[in-house]
Amino acid sequence: MVKPINFITFLICLLMPISAYARCAVCYTNGLSGASIAVIVIVLSAIFLFVSNIFLQKFLERYK
């Protein structure tokens, strides 16, 4: 049986970013500034929350 501390240590090592992959968002997007990336993230998260709210309301009304 796996000890919990070994499993937690494994997850930490697995999820820890490696320096080659831990780059900023501006480095991945060619030419976009930080402000434009922030606007894109805000708009996409608002759309995602709006759509998920609609589906959650339908789900709750069905099982009410």
Digit-coded pLDDT (tens) for 6-43 = 777 877 777 776 665 556 666 666 777 878 888 989 99
Environment class of 37 (CB within 10 Å of its CB; exposed 0-12, middle 13-18, buried 19+): middle
Closest listed residue to residue 25, CA positions, set 11, 51, 9, 44: 44
- What is residue 44's predicted lDDT score, i.e. its pLDDT? 95
pLDDT score, position 22: 57
53-56-61 Cα angle (round to 5):
125
Q: What is the model's pLDDT at position 31? A: 74
**Of 22 and 52, more confident:** 52
Computed on alpha carbons and rounded to an integer, the radius of gyration of the chain in Å comes to 20
What per-residue confidence (pLDDT) applies to 5?
Answer: 72
Quote the domain boundaries for residue 48: 4-62
C-alpha span between 58 and 52 (Å, rounded)? 10
Q: How much is the pLDDT for 10?
A: 78
Asked if pLDDT for residue 49 goes beyond 60, the answer is: yes
For the chain, the domain total comes to: 1
